[in-house]
A and B are shown apart, each in its own frame.
Chain A
Amino acid sequence: MKVTGLTPIPNVLRPQGNFVVPPALAAEIDEVITHYPVKRSASLMLLHAMQEHFGWISQEAVEWIARKLELPPINIYELLTFYPMFRLQPAGKYQIKVCRTLSCALAGSQKLHEHFCTRLGLDPHQHEIQTTPDGRFSVEFVECLAGCGGAPVVMCNDEFHENVNPAKADAMMTKRE
């Protein structure tokens, strides 16, 4: 029997033309692998290292990590579709994460998210990540950032900001424009 009408599942991974792992990153990765008695354990840490270096995770990065850890690429790919922090395409230079969860919501995080989006010309109703056309800023709603006493909280790249009001938000953006 001939099966018809099946379309292949699209590959969500994107190619990265100039993918080269510099020696410093390779050395960092080799060191991290020694932390574990089983190589596969290092996969999340390697993905973090790649994302910190390149800003996102490409098809080549997935294959490189899989080879490094002697795993089939699916074992790396399945992590990317499970853990929300990994990006499958480049995001903005400054990535703004606004906490959406209860304590921040009670302190006005919905309006804060709208404020960021409006000021940057992004859709205030879209919760998922959006990036400005110039690639400078990304804004997204994320779940609880464990800073509820200083709600609403925002992360800008690795920096953690508490009690963010519109004025503070404006200052954050102005500083980086």
Chain B
Amino acid sequence: MPQEFKLILKHADEPGYTPDIECYLRHGGYDALKKALALRSLDLPDGRKKSPQEQLRDDVKQAGLRGRGGAGFSCGLKWSFVDRKSGKPIYLICNADESEPGTFKDRQIIHKDPHQLIEGMIISCFANDVQLAYIYIRGEMPQGAKLLNRALQEARAKGFLGKNILGSGYNLEIHVHRGAGAYICGEETGLIESLEGKRAYPRIKPPYFPAVLGLYMCPTIVNNVETLCHVKHIVAMGAAEYAKLGTPNNTGTRIVSLSGHVQRPGYYEIEVGKVTLGELINDPNFGGGLREGRKLKAIIPGGSSSKVLKAGEKFKLKRKVDGKDVEQEVDLLDLPYDFDSLLQAGTMSGSSAIIVMDDSTDIVEVLANISKFYAHESCGQCTPCREGSLWMSKALHRLTHGQGRAEDADYLVKIANNIPGGRTICAFGEACSWPVQSFVAKFKDEFVAKGAADEEGRAKGKVEPKAAPAERKESATVA
């Protein structure tokens, strides 16, 4: 029977576990930091010396750690891109702007075990010669910001932060910076602009790769909360041991945020790829199945921007069986929940947020809800995204208010196809298009039927032809 595997959340939910430093220290807290600071240079066979920092960076690479924020990019590789020769300071920012709909995992870490994040951050900063770092926390988490500030103060008082940390000669300061309700701040270059005190307009890459031209045009690392926590465990366990967790190329554990129509919504930490999507939804250790008498209709597997999967879909996965590459047909529910399998299924595990929808769900309403979110959150810099996200939302508003047309399904896809693919500065263009493209492709009959019924109603004179009701009157009723 599939089980949870608690690494990051090992203590968080234990009775009596509190977010203060004394409790953290009683559970072995800051031991990994001490281990990292005690590392000595290694003599390499070629006579070169390998610094403790290089050893730590190599460990993260060898552990196979992939970013837990959404893109699943190799953390070690990200760190390797940092321009270390520019002579400018290097900054590290913890992305705690958790705002992809469906995701609520970082909230658990921040609220229940803030010192774990801080320890992971200090080690990551040490490994990258960072002396000033920030935690960018979303504005809607004021309690989280207070908890982090208190935890930082405690860490300072114990000598884990500040000047000459634990006598090592290493100096580091970390500050909390609060956002103010804009989803786009989760995009790393938008986040950097926001931290500079500006509107969170993402920067164009090239040339503004954060690793070279980030905060204040200095080399900058932006890592997700959960990713930074994993760094602590890589140091504590050793890279080789850590890499045994999970599956090849999908190492470690992940906290899955499960919501929607399941019996037991919540967060579940699993070894990456060791549990299937079906088990996460149906197993009594996880989601516990759908509501009484309901059948599965659709799954959003990695936050609301990931492409939707339809019940009954089958996918061809390339797998290694006895050392040979074979192609296997896999049912939706048998997809291992990891980075690579979901990519092969044409979607992504994103921020590991699964939203489950049963057969009572009105798919058109769901897409209208998602599209309204993206129309609200587009930063407005790039015309295709600013206008396109709004057009899609307006068309869906019509469709959910008796003003639809049968051709709206095609119209939506036409707009969605013209937003992403290098036409916008950041990946928001993709994020707002993928749901529309995938929902309409997989549930087209429902969109067409809804539009056709509206047309018929108007033809029979049941509904007076009139402009769609004002946007602000939109009803977002779902299910």
Q: Which residues of A contact B (CB under 8 A)?
A: 35-38, 40-45, 47-48, 69, 75, 78-79, 82-86, 97, 100-103, 105-106, 108-111, 125-128, 142-151, 155, 158-160
Residue B479, interface by CB 8 Å: yes
Question: Which of B101, B179, B357 is within 8 Å of A148, CB to CB?
Answer: B101
Give chain B residues whose Cβ lies under 8 Å from the Cβ of A159.
143
Residue B257, interface by CB 8 Å: yes
Name the residue of chain B whose CB is nearest to the CB of A37. B216
Interchain CB contact under 8 A, A43 and B197 = yes
Smallest CB separation, B91 vs chain A (Å):
9
Name the residue of chain A whose CB is nearest to the CB of B183. A143
Residue B261, interface by CB 8 Å: yes
Name the residue of chain A whose CB is nearest to the CB of B175. A35
Give chain B residues whose Cβ lies under 8 Å from the Cβ of A155.
140
In the complex, A45 Cα to B476 Cα: how many Å?
Answer: 33
Question: Which of B142, B194, B474 is within 8 Å of A44, CB to CB?
Answer: B194
Give chain A residues whose Cβ lies under 8 Å from the Cβ of B132.
37
- State which of B154-162, B335-343, B365-373, B420-428 sits at the interface with chain A: B365-373
Question: Which of A37, A40, A85, A103 is within 8 Å of B259, CB to CB?
Answer: A103
Give chain B residues whose Cβ lies under 8 Å from the Cβ of A143.
99, 101, 181, 183, 373, 376-377
Smallest CB separation, B87 vs chain A (Å):
15
Residue B227, interface by CB 8 Å: no
Smallest CB separation, B333 vs chain A (Å):
20
Instruction: Rank and list the top 10 A-B pairs by shortest CB-CB distance, nearest first.
Output: A83-B180, A148-B259, A85-B181, A43-B197, A40-B197, A103-B259, A84-B181, A85-B180, A35-B175, A144-B101
Smallest CB separation, B108 vs chain A (Å):
9
Residue B478, interface by CB 8 Å: yes
Name the residue of chain B whose CB is nearest to the CB of A82. B199
Give chain A residues whose Cβ lies under 8 Å from the Cβ of B101.
101-103, 143-144, 148
Having A44-B178, A144-B373, one finds 4 other A-B pairs with CB under 8 Å, namely A48-B178, A146-B107, A155-B140, A159-B143
Give chain A residues whose Cβ lies under 8 Å from the Cβ of B300.
102
In the complex, A78 Cα to B107 Cα: how many Å?
Answer: 29
Interchain CB contact under 8 A, B103 and A106 = no
Name the residue of chain A whose CB is nearest to the CB of B91. A37
Give chain B residues whose Cβ lies under 8 Å from the Cβ of A102.
101-102, 260, 300, 304, 355, 366, 369-370, 373, 478
Question: Which of A37, A103, A147 is within 8 Å of B355, CB to CB?
Answer: A103
Question: Quick one: CB contact mask for B135-146 with A, threshold 8 Å, 1 for yes?
Answer: 000111111000
Question: Which of B103, B197, B357 is within 8 Å of A146, CB to CB?
Answer: B103
Considering only CB atoms and an 8 Å cut-off, how many residues of chain B contact the other chain? 63
Residue B434, interface by CB 8 Å: no
Residue B324, interface by CB 8 Å: no
Interchain CB contact under 8 A, B177 and A44 = yes
In the complex, A20 Cα to B433 Cα: how many Å?
Answer: 47
In the complex, A85 Cα to B180 Cα: how many Å?
Answer: 5
Residue B331, interface by CB 8 Å: no
Interchain CB contact under 8 A, B177 and A45 = yes
Give chain A residues whose Cβ lies under 8 Å from the Cβ of B138.
146
Interchain CB contact under 8 A, A149 and B258 = yes
In the complex, A97 Cα to B181 Cα: how many Å?
Answer: 12
Question: Which of A36, A69, A86, A101 is within 8 Å of B180, CB to CB?
Answer: A86
Residue B200, interface by CB 8 Å: yes
Smallest CB separation, B259 vs chain A (Å):
4
Smallest CB separation, B157 vs chain A (Å):
17
In the complex, A125 Cα to B379 Cα: how many Å?
Answer: 26
Within 8 A of A (CB), among B89-129: 98-104, 106-107
Give chain B residues whose Cβ lies under 8 Å from the Cβ of A79.
180, 197-199
Give chain A residues whose Cβ lies under 8 Å from the Cβ of B473.
125-126
Residue B266, interface by CB 8 Å: yes
Listed A/B pairs (5) with beta-carbon separation below 8 Å: A75-B198, A85-B140, A149-B267, A151-B265, A155-B140
Interchain CB contact under 8 A, B103 and A158 = no
Give chain A residues whose Cβ lies under 8 Å from the Cβ of B216.
37-38
Residue B48, interface by CB 8 Å: no
In the complex, A69 Cα to B353 Cα: how many Å?
Answer: 39
Give chain A residues whose Cβ lies under 8 Å from the Cβ of B372.
100
- CB contact under 8 A between A106 and B355, given known A146-B140, A149-B265: yes
Residue B164, interface by CB 8 Å: no
Give chain B residues whose Cβ lies under 8 Å from the Cβ of A101.
101, 304, 369, 373
Give chain A residues whose Cβ lies under 8 Å from the Cβ of B370.
102
Interchain CB contact under 8 A, B143 and A78 = no
Residue B196, interface by CB 8 Å: yes
In the complex, A102 Cα to B98 Cα: how many Å?
Answer: 15
- CB contact under 8 A between A144 and B99, given known A44-B197, A47-B180: yes
Residue B462, interface by CB 8 Å: no
Interchain CB contact under 8 A, B196 and A146 = no
